[in-house]
Each structure stands twice: as C-alpha cells, then as structure tokens.
C-alpha cells in the first residue's frame, strides 16, 4: 500500500471475495533493550531492561479490517448444515458465524442436496421461498448485531448495490421480507414460473 495513493496491490492468485487486513509494526533491524509503555506492568517489572528484538520482529499489531474485493450474491454466504438435533420437517437458522447456517435433519439434507442438483426442477425453485428466503429474512432482522461477519458485509453490499444503502434498523426489521425478496431476486415468482412451465410441458 503506497503512502500517497493508498493503493493496495495484490499478487496473482485466487481470493475468496474479501480480505482481512491486519497491520503489523515490525523492526527494520535488530533492536537491543526494547521497551514500551504499552507493555503490561508485569512484563516491565519482569524485564526492566527491555529485551532484544530480531530484524523483522513484530512490535505491535493493529486492528483488523475487512475489505470486500467484489460483489457476491447473498446465497454465496448461506450453508446447509446437517444437524441431528433438528426435528424432522423443521429447520433452524444460525447467524453467529461468518456464514448463515441453515440447520436441517441429516436425512433431509441429503434429499435437499439431491433436489439442488436438479436445478430446473420445481422442487429446486421451492427451496428458495421455503428455506433460503426465510434465512435471509432472519439475517436482515438481526443485521445490526452481526455487522462484523462476512454474511453481513455481503448483504449490506448487495443492499447498497440495489440502492438501499441508508435503511435504518427499524425499517429493515419491519420490511425484512420485502428486502429479502429483492435480494433473492423475487424467488416466489421464480417458483411460480417454473411450476407453470412444467404444467405447459405436460
């Protein structure tokens, strides 16, 4: 990152949609008797004369910052997870990690995965209003409580890209279903279109 332009130059490679940047202060050369007021009192008492730091030794670590490299679809941060504790015919949504987790019974996960492979089926179209849409609704309602997660960044970026960058929490909560449908590109309409197409073919 250059000082005057603040440009980040990345080496060639594959990146997973975002970067977590953590700044480090390192020594350019060996330091003898290094001491700092930032050291804990116990450490300063134990080593009053300081300590030696080798070249390129870490002196301090700053706060990490997430940088989004490209816009990703909302469904790219949603995972289907098998959970034996979930009752048959039910599912739960977990938002505590970097990805939105939809927990389903183990046997039903296998069936859902089989349906997902038939991407043109009416059953596949029904997955979005049935599972994924509900998960996004829950995510929108709880967005302020998870602002540092990857899924929150992805959803916020998607909202920004659709011209909804300044929505307050109350409006987002009250209209979560409306915004979820926008983010998921009106999945109910896709479900109906697929069902009608199959009827016409029959």
Ordered mean pLDDT values, 10 residues apiece, the chain (202 residues) = 57 66 88 80 79 85 75 84 91 94 91 74 66 92 90 89 82 86 71 55 59
Query: pLDDT tens-digit profile of 54-95?
Result: 888 888 888 887 666 666 788 889 999 999 999 988 999 999
Domain boundary among 61, 82, 117: 61
Residue 71: inside a domain:
no
CA separation for the pair 65, 1 (Å, rounded): 14
Residue 12: inside a domain:
no
Which pLDDT score, from 0 to 100, does residue 1 have?
Answer: 44
Which pLDDT score, from 0 to 100, does residue 124 have?
Answer: 64
Q: Do both 35 and 117 map to the same domain?
A: no
Which pLDDT score, from 0 to 100, does residue 182 have?
Answer: 86
Residue 69: inside a domain:
no
Which pLDDT score, from 0 to 100, does residue 2 have?
Answer: 43
Which pLDDT score, from 0 to 100, does residue 81 have?
Answer: 94
* pTM of the model as a whole: 0.60
The alpha helices in the chain, defined as continuous H runs, are: 41-46, 106-117, 122-127, 133-141, 150-161, 169-174, 176-183, 187-201
Q: Do both 55 and 118 map to the same domain?
A: no
Domain count, the chain: 2
Q: Residue 125's domain spans which residues?
A: 108-201
Which pLDDT score, from 0 to 100, does residue 194 have?
Answer: 55
Q: Do both 119 and 197 map to the same domain?
A: yes
Residue 39: inside a domain:
yes
Q: Do both 54 and 112 map to the same domain?
A: no
Q: Which residues pair with 25 in a beta bridge?
A: 60
């Amino acid at each position: 990152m250059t000082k005057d332009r603040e440009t980040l130059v990345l080496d060639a490679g594959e990146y997973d949609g975002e970067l977590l940047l953590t700044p480090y202060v390192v020594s350019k050369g060996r330091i003898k008797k290094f001491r700092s007021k930032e050291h804990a009192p116990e450490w300063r008492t134990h080593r009053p004369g300081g300590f030696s730091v080798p070249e390129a030794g870490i002196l301090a670590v700053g706060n990490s910052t997430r940088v989004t490299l490209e816009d990703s679809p909302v469904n790219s941060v949603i995972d289907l997870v098998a959970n034996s504790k979930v009752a048959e015919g039910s599912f739960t949504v977990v938002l505590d990690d970097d990805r939105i987790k939809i927990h389903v019974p183990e046997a039903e996960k296998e069936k859902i995965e089989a349906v997902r492979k038939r991407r043109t089926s009416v059953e596949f179209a029904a997955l979005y209003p049935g599972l994924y849409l509900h998960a996004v609704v829950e995510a929108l309602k709880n967005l302020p409580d998870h602002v540092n997660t990857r899924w929150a960044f992805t959803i916020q970026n998607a909202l920004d890209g659709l011209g909804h960058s300044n929505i307050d929490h109350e409006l987002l909560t009250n209209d979560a279903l409306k915004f979820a449908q926008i983010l998921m590109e009106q999945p109910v309409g896709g479900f109906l279109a697929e069902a009608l197409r199959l009827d016409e073919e029959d």
